[in-house]
Each structure stands twice: as structure tokens, then as C-alpha cells.
Structure 1
Amino acid sequence: MALSRGSLERRSDLRSEPGLLETLLGDPSTRVVELVDGRALVREDADGHIALTYRSPVPADAGRFVAYLGHDAEVGGTAYVLSVAEAADASGDDSARHGLRSVGAQMGDLDAGVLTTATGLANWHARHRFCPQCGAPTEPAQAGWIRVCPRDGSEHYPRTDPAVIMSVVDEHDRLLLARGVGFAAQGMSVLAGFVEPGESLAAAVAREVHEEVGVRVTDVTYLGDQPWPFPSSLMVGFTARALSTDLVLQENEIEEARWFDRDELARAVADGSLRISRRISIARRLIEHWYGEEIDAPEVTLRG
């Protein structure tokens, strides 16, 4: 899983230290990843990987949202800090900025973990600026890992929304793919959906498949998971076996669904009549797990 490879030591024990961010921003050895609209400066390294372009702290960081991300794994290792900037005062060439979706799968483990964590934290803070209890503006605390309401004293922690995503196969080992409303033309993927309150992960798999395409499933089996900070999900991947093959599509959710055997999928990808998810997504990994090997397909974004 492309976004489950992070090797960053989060060091949560340091977050409550008084003046931690001020100390780190006063140390030129601190590595800062600067985000502008969710995009970071990147470059190609000597190994052909996409690497984050870090910088030292600058005075402007003191007026921005900043957060401590962690240290690398070495004893006394380097500290990493997020700084969220506006385009007008950002550093570097904007054309060299890219978001996690487009470059995360091509990064090394450390950079993938740094950018995934930075993206998730930045998205959460941008969407949770007010107290859900009293409506007052909240303030970052614990080095950017919580928000505190100065009016009622309540603490609010970054949320993660669990979502299930599943490869469904029938008795002939055909894979079910579907095109959701809003997908790009020819785009299809495995089914997915959010877990509801009071629901187990396996129950969410069965419910979502039946709701979206009218198929009952059994043998729901966990396969893998990864963070998906767009804005705040944890994608939990499963396989499942279909008990029927008749499809009844959920109105306003699914535009098309069909069963593919391996030859049909390979031909459709090759001739461009089928577009599948990027390698960064767990959807691509589920499809390739069923297929039996990596699939040579263009890196495209399915949602239009």
C-alpha cells in the first residue's frame, strides 16, 4: 500500500513540550515541508524517485499554521515540521509543487509518510476551525495535533473516517467493477463506502455492495489498509465472494457496473475503453491482487 510505508517516528511524547515548535523553528537543521493548497515542492532524486524538497525554517513560518510531524528513525535524528503557506508568499517554483495523489506512490518511505501526515493534518485543521460545542473559533495546541476552544476549554482531535473498499468476485472468479456518478469517462473501480455508526467493517462491506449493485456477498476477508487524507479517511481493503451476479444499480450513485474476467480487463485497459485508479490508491492494489500481477495502465484520476 503506497501510503502505508511511512517510516517517520511520530514522537507523540514531544507534542506537549512547552515551546516545542518555537525551538524547532529556531533550529536550521529542522526540515520543513511547505504546503500550498495541498501541494509540496518535489524533485527527482538520484534513484529516480520523487523526493520532497525540504527547507530550513524561515521567519514567515511564525505567522503560519505549523505542526510538528515527527523525527526520522535515527537516534537524535532530524525533526520534520509542516508549514501551510499562501501562494503569494510561498517559497520555490510553483510549477514544482505536486499533491500527494500525483506523487505519493513514487516517493520513498520517509517522504511518503511525511507528506501523508502533513496533508491529513492540514486538511483537518482547515475544516475544523470552530468548536462543535459552542461555535467559538478554536486554536491549535500540542504542536498542531489538537485544537482547543478558549471559550469552553474543550479539546478536539484530528478525525479519521473509516471506509471499506472491496474487490468482489463471482463463482467464475470474475471481478466486479463499477463507475460511480462523477467518474471520468471510461473510469471504473471496485466498490467502496463509509462505515456507519454501530457497524462492523465486514457488515459495512456487505451493506455497501448490496446497496450499490444489489449483490449479496459472503467470505468477507481483510486484505490491507492505508490512510487516505482526502480529506480524512482510512481505507480498509477487503475481498468478498458474490452469491449472485445479477446487478441492480443504485440510482444517483452508480452509472455502470459489470463483471470482468482477466482477459476482458486486460483488453479493455489496453484499448482505452477502461480506466482504472492510480497506483497510489488501494483500489488499484485490490484490482492487481485479483489480477495476479501489476497492470500496465496510464496514471489517471477517475473522478472528473
Structure 2
Amino acid sequence: MHDGSLDTADTPVTELIEEFLAAQAVRKPSPHTLLAYRRDLTAVLSLIRDGQTVTLSDLSPRSLRAAFAEFAGGRAPSSVYRAWSSWNSFFGFLVVEGMVAGNPMSAVGKPKFMTPSPKPLRGEDTPEQLLQAVSKTDERQRDPWPERDVAVLALALCAGLRLSELLSLRTGSLLGRAGERRVEVAGKGGRPRSVPIEPELDAVVARYVDSRRVRFGRVRPDDPLFVDRRGRPLQRGGLQYLVQSCYRRAGVSDRVPRGAQLHALRHTFATRLAEDGANASEIMRLLGHASLTTSQGYIEVTAAQQRAAVQANRTNRVLREL
């Protein structure tokens, strides 16, 4: 690690990026998060000085604005915004370490990026229909494992877990006494959280773990919770395919918002929290949001849905004719 009292102006930025990533890794973010940081930082860096070695002294507001202007060409605003955030975090690290006096990213424009609207499953009874269908053994499958599939869906629907959070779970991640059970989650950005779970969800996970013992023998607390049909830790692509398969088997694929897939289950959890009266702060804690604005979006959507339901009341049409 550099000493802040030393002159670091001639230090190659690639070395500083590695130090930044190492510091981030201590917080144990998901591998996907670290890869995104590296990709965003190196992509913009390659546009400064035509790919030549870039030192800290080369990172001026002017050079960064030019690089981001080129980087933005043909990219979605969300991608540019994410890259800007990565560089903002990078410079925040450099400031804390005493390598730079201030963060120049305030002088680099960023696109306005609206928080995406929630995308829950469509249909009032869709979650229940999905769980009921998947809980039944489907003989068309080569090696059906309904206990595992239901456990995946239930943890997303009833605890609001992200895909990366499901993959990081261990069999010992469910803790606590009866009536006070919770699941310990390694959240986004390395932010841990604890989500209460009801006895019904606890029982679903227990049935899955029992079925896994029957298939593969001993299960240890530090083993990955979810495995494939050969007993290997489930990977990102495998989990995505599993959820898509569940939608098809339940006949609800047309009720899944485009691009949502597993995230639609998490959005359904949050939307139902809002419908049942949870405030934005409670939703924020349960879902591990970094911003209260994101949580507020679920409440605003629910309010809009309520307004639409009132407007659809047939009595209103009679009133219009009076």
C-alpha cells in the first residue's frame, strides 16, 4: 500500500486499480461485483493517452471527461452511469489513502439514470401457482428434484434474495431458535444482512437439505446450500436455467416481466411487503438496498396500482354519466 506522504504522481494507474480491488475484496463482495469494477475502470483507462501507460498525474478532469465522452458512444446510459460510479469509488479510495487531494469525478458529467421500476410477477396468484406446480414431481424431467427447486423459489419469494445471494448461501446460513429463525446473507457490495424467516420457509429448506442427504450423503454447515444434480455447487448459469425451467413447468412464463427472471421473485417479495404496509425503511433493511430511493419505488408502484384499481371501479363509470 502506498504511503500518502510519498509522491504518487508517476504511479501507473493500473497498479492503483489493483490496490483498489484488493481493498474491495476485503469486504467480500461477489466475484461479479469485482469483475464489474475491473471492467469499468480498465475500459475507461484504455481511452486515456491512446492506451499508453497512464499515471496518476494523467487523470485530470479534462482527460476523464474526454475518455467518458468516447466511452459513452453506443452504450446504454445505465452502463455509463455504472462506470462513472466505479471511477467515483476508485477516486474515493485514492482520497482516503492520501494519494490525491480531491475527487475529480464531480467535474465529469454522468447520465441521468432513473431507478428501474419494480418488475414483480404479473397476476395476483402467480407466486402460489408457481410454487404448487414446482412442488409436484415432473416425470418429464430427466432427474426431478422438486425439493431443491421449491427451496430456491421460496427463498427468493419469501426472503427477497438476489441470485448472487442465493449462490453464496451455506447450509449453515439459517440460524436461530424455533420461532426466531433467520437467514444470514452476504449482500450486494459486501453488505451483510439478516432476514427473518417464517417456520414454513424454514421447513421447505429443511426438506431440501434432507433430500440432499439422501442423494449425496453428509451435508456440512459450510457447504454451499444449493447444488446441481451431480452434487456440485450450483453456478450462476445453472441457477438462471433452473428458475426459467420452473416458470415453464408452471405455465407462467408469460407473466414474467422481460429481463427479470429470478429478480422478478425478489421484486414480488418487495411489492407484497409494500402492499401489506411496510415502509421504505423496512423494505430497505430486508432487501439490502443501498438507497432509500430504491425501496420507495415499491411503495410508489403500489400506490399507483391502488389508484388504477379505484379508477377501474364500475361505480365510477356511473358517476361520470350523472
Task: Give the alignment's TM-score, normalised by structure 2.
Answer: 0.26
- Could you say which structure has the higher helix fraction? 2
Q: Which entry has the higher C-alpha Rg, 1 or 2?
A: 2
Q: Return the TM-score normalized by structure 1.
A: 0.28
